[in-house]
Amino acid sequence: MPLAVADAADFQRASAWVASLSPAVTTVAQVRTQREAMKSAPATVSPWLCVGIGQRLLSKTQSDVLIRDEAFNGGMVKRAPSVLGDKSDPAGWRVGGTGAPVDVLLIVASNDEGATASRAQELVTSAVAAGLSAGHRDTLRRLDDREHFGFRDGISQPQVAGFDDVGELQPGNFVFGYPKVAGSEPFWPVVDPRGLTDNGSLLVFRRLAQEVGAFRAFCASEAMRLAAQWPGLTAEHLGALIVGRWPSGTPVAAGQTSDPGQFPPGNDFDFKNDSNGASCPLGAHIRKINPRNGPKDVLEVPRMLRRGVPFGPLYDAAPEADRGLAFLAFQSSVKSQFEFLTQHWMNSDLNPGRGNDLLVGRSDGAARTMKIQGPAGPIQISAPLADWIKPTGGAYLFAPSKSGLTKFATPPAAFGLWKAQQLWAITLDSVKQSLFDR
Ligand code: HEM
């Protein structure tokens, strides 16, 4: 639910209002406890709340705080056509487009649609009373954990040290104030004299509309075109090769011709012994975005905590409706995690392995192509210039911790109290930003 400050005089009031939400914000621990409890005794969960703050509201009201992330400060609208490779004009976005910044993003969730909708309405009413205006609100639904093309999603998630049983990654990759690598200094890319960003995170929201009919038609016609080179190749199999997993979530492997339907889907695999893409094409979505010890020496794979949920009805119920994925991901650096993965891997036909990500990736002009390994050798498949995924909104946001959020109620102390070093950092970042913006 996007909210924006309608009148410039209302920024401080809006900031005090978001601070008042702090007691209602749900922590990771609360979510986990409730999920665990529901396994033995299913119950209705009273709605969870997550709050994201836009760069404009942060800078207008907390002028002593700077999050040193070029992407967050530049904003998604500006960076979409360049860094993210978007072809559509953000002026037409439904959320957060040109001239329509998102100052606050509220995510309300529960397992009861009615309770979620009335909690959302309650929050909008109180936001409006505090001088905010509400933008386009999407209703998100889990759809049996599948995205609209029919593939199980949200399977592969980084395991975080101190949170998960087997913590492979340090919390500093997702939350400010912790090391990114065990034993190193905490990652704290902020100028923040009041601890407002402690335990905070950066949230990427991208509203991606999905043209299910176009994707299905492509898989069907391409499978038919390849009948001579790969007799018996089905549209479902081709789709699985494009994603890197079957609709059930089972990773693709050489020789399978239908969905093995393994549950829970396996995630303990890598591409070490598959350098030419015989099992999983180098251009498959999951391989472009996480090469798992694939052919190139990728030392560090940037990871994100993905929390995306689909919006809109199922295709077969209403083919013409607006549908897609509300992509949501938490990280400690938008520039070196979400943007790096998008720009340098997902949209690249060279890195980390050859071939375009035909599911989500873009190309810079030429048609997108990827290689699949057929029974008689490699086959090139090529997608038309039109994409089946169209960005229709989004924003880069700061998700404060509960205690950080309360500090939004207090305006910063006088300018004279700042340290020269903090002022220098802000000036330097602003100069860098204005150079980028030219
Ligand atoms: C509508 C657009 C998208 C669709 C339909 C989609 C679909 C999927 C599916 C089906 C999976 C496999 C399930 C899993 O491994 O969890 C997946 C994995 C993944 N996707 Fe996407 N995705 C979309 C957009 C994006 C975007 C924009 C990004 C980020 C730049 C992204 C990053 C990832 C990552 C990191 C994984 C996990 C790969 C792994 O660790 O194996 N996806 N996606």
Dihedrals phi, psi of 24, to nearest 5 degrees: -90, -10
Q: CA nearest 398: which of 78, 97, 56, 120? A: 56
Dihedrals phi, psi of 60, to nearest 5 degrees: -75, -30
Which residue's CA lies nearest to atom 7 of ligand 1? 153
> What atom in ligand 1 is closest to the CA of residue 245?
12
**pLDDT over threshold 50, residue 192:** yes
Q: How high is the pLDDT of residue 319?
A: 97
- With residue 329 as reference, give the H or E element that holds it: strand 324-331
Instruction: Using the mean position of ligand 1's atoms as its centre, give its distance from the Cα of residue 418 in Å.
Output: 42
- DSSP reduced 3-state for 228: coil
Domain extent listing, the chain: 2-207+396-437, 208-305+334-391
Q: How does residue 438 score in pLDDT terms, banded at 50, 70 and 90? A: very low
Which residue's CA lies nearest to atom 12 of ligand 1? 153
Which residue's CA lies nearest to atom 24 of ligand 1? 360
pLDDT mean across residues, the chain? 92
**Which protein residues touch ligand 1 with a CB less than 6 Å away?**
147, 149, 151, 153-156, 206, 208, 210, 243, 245, 285-286, 289-290, 306, 324-325, 327, 338, 341-342, 346, 360, 389
Q: What is the mean pLDDT of residues 100-116?
A: 96
Dihedrals phi, psi of 143, to nearest 5 degrees: 50, 45
Least confident of 159-163, 217-221, 297-301: 297-301
Q: What is the mean pLDDT of residues 95-115?
A: 96
Distance CA 191, CA 227 (A): 59
**pLDDT over threshold 90, residue 221:** yes
DSSP letters along 262-320, please? -SSPP-----TT-TT-SSS-TTSHHHHH--TT-SS--------EE--EEES--TTT-TT
Instruction: Using the mean position of ligand 1's atoms as its centre, give its distance from the Cα of residue 288 in Å.
Output: 10
Q: What long-range pairs does 413-418 form, CB within 8 A, spacing at least 24?
A: 413/64, 413/193, 417/193, 418/64, 418/193
Instruction: Using the mean position of ligand 1's atoms as its centre, give its distance from the Cα of residue 372 in Å.
Output: 19
Handedness of CA 332, 333, 334, 336 (dihedral sign): negative
**pLDDT over threshold 90, residue 307:** yes
Going from the C-alpha of 317 to that of each of 251, 404, 432, the distances in angstroms are 28, 43, 49
Q: Please choose from 156, 159, 215, 216 the residue to mutate so as to test ligand 1's pocket, defined by most ligand atoms within 8 A of CB.
A: 156
Task: Reply yes or no: is the peptide bond before residue 295 cis, omega within 30 of 0.
Answer: no
Distance CA 382, CA 394 (A): 28
Q: What is the mean pLDDT of residues 53-59?
A: 98
Please name the amino acid found at residue 283: G
Instruction: Using the mean position of ligand 1's atoms as its centre, give its distance from the Cα of residue 229 in Å.
Output: 29
